[in-house]
Chains A and B, each alone.
Chain A
Amino acid sequence: MKSVLKLVTAKTTDELKSSDAEQEDFELVRRFKNDADMAAFETLFRRHQQYVAGLCLQFLRSQAEAEDAGQEVFIKAYRGLATFEPKVTFRGWLYRITVNHCRDLIDQRIRRAEDSDDELLATIATLPKQESRLVATMTLEAALGKLKPDYRVAFILQAIEGRTIGEVAEILGIGFEAAASRLRRAYQQFTIAYDALNRAQT
């Protein structure tokens, strides 16, 4: 079934149609770029801050870090808005900045060996049995932490954020097939890690 792979790519994500909100965003960007209108930037900020904060939280799993990262994303957006072209939506552009920024933070964590789950696993082991809910949640977090950064980002975008495979591919700047392959491996690694952690606790 060599042709099946080709057929998979036949269904791509629909291009985002321009909507009123997107046109408003473009107008606000134009006012900021041309007239240095800070009120326009403030409106953009307020319209998208919750969206960015939520996305940072899904990636970084810590509210304090997510708040910090969200601010840095908007600083980057503020500085980089001069180069924004309306070929993509403003939200999509902001989304990519957010994903890249959080991905960098995750990489830094791994380099600093802060992403080790040994301590987390030790915590799970010492929780009272009646805290089963807490144990389950922390086990899931530990399993998510086991994923390689590339897989973790794709997994969060699709399985948690609910993006389509095409959107994941577009955000990560990879092909549709590559995104599908990355997601398959992510799902596989996640279930293997989760099952292994559960076995380790019994």
Chain B
Amino acid sequence: MNFNVQTECRAVEDSLVALAANELDAELSAQLRAHVDDCANCQSSLAEIRRAGLLAGELKLVSPELDRYPEFLRRLAASEAQAAREIVLEGELVSSVGEVLALTPIKASMELKASEIQQAGAAAVIPLFGHRLIIRSGFGRGFDLQVSSRQNRELFHLSANSLAKAAAVVAGFGMFAALSLFALGMLVVWMVRQAAPTFSPPSAEQIHQQEPMPHLGERRLQNFGEQKLPWLQTVAGDGWALAMWKAGNQVQAGFIEPESGALSDPFILALPNLGTPAANEAAESRITDCSLATDGQSVVAVREQMGNVFVWHLQPSSNKPRAGISPMPIVIGSRAFQPAIAWAGDRYLVVWIEPDRNFPKLKMVELDRAGRPLQPAALTVAETESANLKVGTPSIVAQSGRALIVYQRQGNSLMARSWDSTAGMSEAPVELLRHKGQMINRPVLAAIGGKFLVCWGENYPEGSELRWGSVNPVGEVEKLQTLAVSRMPIISFDFKASGKEMSLIWSEAAEGGAQIFAQRYSPTGRALSRAINVTPSEIPPMAFAFANAEATTMVWHEARPIQMQSPVLSKRIKWND
């Protein structure tokens, strides 16, 4: 590179950012491009800028929509109360007056009065319900009591020249001050009580103002060979069931007909516009954890996308969402991964992992029936106590105002903490059990008759097993039992429990593809049937689950070659008696 080109490069290098951001007009852009086309260094710099811009798009975080005004009022009141205490207690009344006056619009007359006070004696200025209470003492030369508005309009003024009058003024002021302080205290108490957040949920118009993701239509499947297994989840309510699965770069869902077990036309779980094309592009390529729960009438789905937890409220009664896309979600948390949700009888509970540098935490937030947060901040359920005991992969089950949160801790521990709607979180997490093998995905939790059931799988070098445990509401393990054993690796499983029985479905790796088995058990763990092979077709499934709480229907996602549409199918299970 000769001297002239080097000089040019130095002159234009700062312009490359504007060029990459398309902020130059056509003429300037053409001139700069002409140089870049002939300069390898500038080409490299431009490519670096564009790459950094794409990466930066993945750093966009979405803030949850909350009503922050009550908290603001509380802080403002605390701040002004603190300022008032400083004025009265510190004894530097003169300088404090100047400081307080400096905070508000000052007119010349007020400043003049401040200087008069300095000459005459001492003064105090107390903020009071948006006004100012000003007391001047002339140390025997009289008293002056004034109440003025924040805009320096005098509302009340009393002066006294004699000692008797001054004493009367002081007594009157004392009574007034006492009453005012009492009223102020009552006001602070009332504001604290009112500080419980009241949410103004966005209207349907506000939700739908956001543009849907521009990714409608058929999409090519990704190659899942090197990625985690795709998932499929279901939730069942009063006379309906919903399945949700990963399909290429989208999350899709469909309702399952209760009689036939057939799946309706799927709809896409819409994502909000993240603001920049790079962010949207990055979001499309990330399929992440999703969890479903129902109050019996509607469904709340939570999903993590680029570290934000989104919540969708889906109404089975309103049939198919418009244009094949679900309603827009709301954000309930940022810097959050691996969410799980459960319905606790009067609210939803959502748990997730917050990275928090090298000490991840398990957090929980409560939502109302429509998926709106009931608190401004998430509660900490568990913390990582040391760098080699990290917490992760939470699961949650809830029933009638009680919940059990189960999570994994490094060192082969399965931990639990219970929650009660009146008593809150239990005193501390407890270790449910220690597993020897490698955990298969997350434990699946269920609730029967006031007890919680935990079903998990472990893979060993010599085989696999599926186990379950019964846990009482305070988190004590009452029973542990093995449900199924296999010499082949177990890939995934699903577990459902009702008052009458428990049902287990799992897949084992085999030559030619996975085989799926199902078995039923009594609530005490006694097998009610032998394991039956329910592999639905010759095409191995990518993911499967029980379609309903009664475990009479299974739904699965077929694994087909790339570039072919991979359908989600369902069928009734024929249990052998």
- A141–B60 Cα distance when bound, in Å, is 11
Nearest chain B residue, comparing its CB with the CB of A143: B55
- A36–B61 Cα distance when bound, in Å, is 36
A194 → chain B, closest Cβ, in Å? 6
- Chain B 1-54 residues near chain A, CB threshold 8 A: 7-8, 11-18, 21, 23-25, 28, 31-32, 35, 45, 48-49, 51-53
Q: Tell me if A61 and B358 are in contact (CB < 8 A).
A: no
Residues of A within 8 A of B58 (CB): 136-137, 140
- A61–B59 Cα distance when bound, in Å, is 9
Q: Tell me if A165 and B72 are in contact (CB < 8 A).
A: no
Question: Is A21 positioned at the interface, with any CB of B under 8 Å from its CB?
Answer: no
Residues of B within 8 A of A74 (CB): 72
Question: Is A122 positioned at the interface, with any CB of B under 8 Å from its CB?
Answer: yes
From A8, A56, A78, A123, contact of B355 by CB (8 A): A123
Nearest chain B residue, comparing its CB with the CB of A120: B357
Residues of B within 8 A of A90 (CB): none
Q: Tell me if A165 and B69 are in contact (CB < 8 A).
A: no
From A1, A122, A164, contact of B35 by CB (8 A): A1
Across the A-B interface, the 6 shortest Cβ-Cβ residue pairs: A123-B358, A159-B56, A1-B8, A54-B63, A53-B63, A187-B52
B125 → chain A, closest Cβ, in Å? 16
From A54, A123, A140, A191, contact of B51 by CB (8 A): A191
Question: Is A23 positioned at the interface, with any CB of B under 8 Å from its CB?
Answer: no
- When each residue 71-96 of chain A gets 1 if its CB lies under 8 Å from chain B and 0 otherwise, what string results? 10011001100100000000000000
- A119–B75 Cα distance when bound, in Å, is 33
| Chain A interface residue count, Cβ-Cβ cutoff 8 angstroms | 68
From A130, A136, A137, A187, contact of B49 by CB (8 A): A187
B364 → chain A, closest Cβ, in Å? 14
Residues of A within 8 A of B388 (CB): 126
Question: Is B164 positioned at the interface, with any CB of A under 8 Å from its CB?
Answer: no
- A133–B355 Cα distance when bound, in Å, is 12
Mostly helix, strand, loop or mixed at chain A's interface?
helix
Question: Is A160 positioned at the interface, with any CB of B under 8 Å from its CB?
Answer: yes
A56 → chain B, closest Cβ, in Å? 8
Additional 15 contacts, C-beta under 8 A, given A8-B24, A58-B61: A4-B12, A36-B149, A50-B65, A57-B63, A58-B60, A75-B79, A123-B355, A126-B387, A159-B56, A160-B57, A177-B14, A181-B14, A188-B45, A188-B48, A190-B52
Nearest chain A residue, comparing its CB with the CB of B13: A184
From B18, B64, B65, B79, contact of A165 by CB (8 A): B18
- A165–B17 Cα distance when bound, in Å, is 8
Question: Is B449 positioned at the interface, with any CB of A under 8 Å from its CB?
Answer: no
Q: B interface vs A, CB < 8 Å?
A: 7-8, 11-18, 21, 23-25, 28, 31-32, 35, 45, 48-49, 51-53, 55-69, 71-72, 75-76, 79, 103-105, 130, 149-151, 228, 275-276, 286, 288, 306-307, 333-335, 337, 355, 357-358, 376-377, 387-388, 390
- A4–B10 Cα distance when bound, in Å, is 10
Question: Is A150 positioned at the interface, with any CB of B under 8 Å from its CB?
Answer: no
10 contacts between A and B (CB under 8 A): A4-B32, A49-B68, A53-B68, A67-B377, A75-B75, A75-B76, A122-B358, A126-B358, A144-B59, A187-B53
- A8–B29 Cα distance when bound, in Å, is 9
**With A67-B68, A137-B307 in contact, is A8–B15 under 8 Å at CB?**
yes
Residues of B within 8 A of A82 (CB): 104-105
B336 → chain A, closest Cβ, in Å? 9
Q: Tell me if A10 and B28 are in contact (CB < 8 A).
A: yes
Residues of B within 8 A of A33 (CB): 105
Q: Tell me if A46 and B63 are in contact (CB < 8 A).
A: no
Q: A interface vs B, CB < 8 Å?
A: 1-2, 4-5, 7-8, 10-11, 33-34, 36, 38, 42, 45-46, 49-50, 53-54, 56-58, 61-64, 66-67, 70-71, 74-75, 78-79, 82, 119-120, 122-123, 126, 130, 133-134, 136-138, 140-141, 143-144, 155, 158-160, 162, 164-166, 177, 180-181, 183-184, 187-188, 190-191, 194
Q: Tell me if B355 and A138 are in contact (CB < 8 A).
A: yes
Residues of B within 8 A of A158 (CB): 17, 21
Q: Tell me if B63 and A63 are in contact (CB < 8 A).
A: yes
From A34, A42, A63, A120, contact of B69 by CB (8 A): A42
From B21, B307, B357, contact of A164 by CB (8 A): B21
- A159–B275 Cα distance when bound, in Å, is 11
Q: Tell me if B76 and A36 are in contact (CB < 8 A).
A: no
Nearest chain A residue, comparing its CB with the CB of B378: A63
Nearest chain A residue, comparing its CB with the CB of B200: A46
Nearest chain B residue, comparing its CB with the CB of A35: B151
Q: Tell me if A4 and B31 are in contact (CB < 8 A).
A: yes
Q: Tell me if A141 and B17 are in contact (CB < 8 A).
A: no
- A62–B31 Cα distance when bound, in Å, is 43
Q: Tell me if A2 and B11 are in contact (CB < 8 A).
A: yes
- A58–B61 Cα distance when bound, in Å, is 6
Residues of B within 8 A of A1 (CB): 7-8, 11-12, 35
Nearest chain A residue, comparing its CB with the CB of B54: A159
Q: Tell me if A187 and B31 are in contact (CB < 8 A).
A: no
Q: Tell me if B17 and A183 are in contact (CB < 8 A).
A: yes
Residues of A within 8 A of B53 (CB): 159, 187
Residues of A within 8 A of B286 (CB): 133
Nearest chain B residue, comparing its CB with the CB of A189: B52
- A62–B377 Cα distance when bound, in Å, is 12
Residues of A within 8 A of B333 (CB): 63
Q: Tell me if B63 and A50 are in contact (CB < 8 A).
A: yes
B542 → chain A, closest Cβ, in Å? 17
- A194–B55 Cα distance when bound, in Å, is 9
Nearest chain B residue, comparing its CB with the CB of A3: B11
Q: Tell me if A4 and B8 are in contact (CB < 8 A).
A: yes
Q: Tell me if B72 and A45 are in contact (CB < 8 A).
A: yes
Residues of B within 8 A of A8 (CB): 14-15, 18, 24, 28
Nearest chain A residue, comparing its CB with the CB of B4: A1
- A50–B66 Cα distance when bound, in Å, is 8
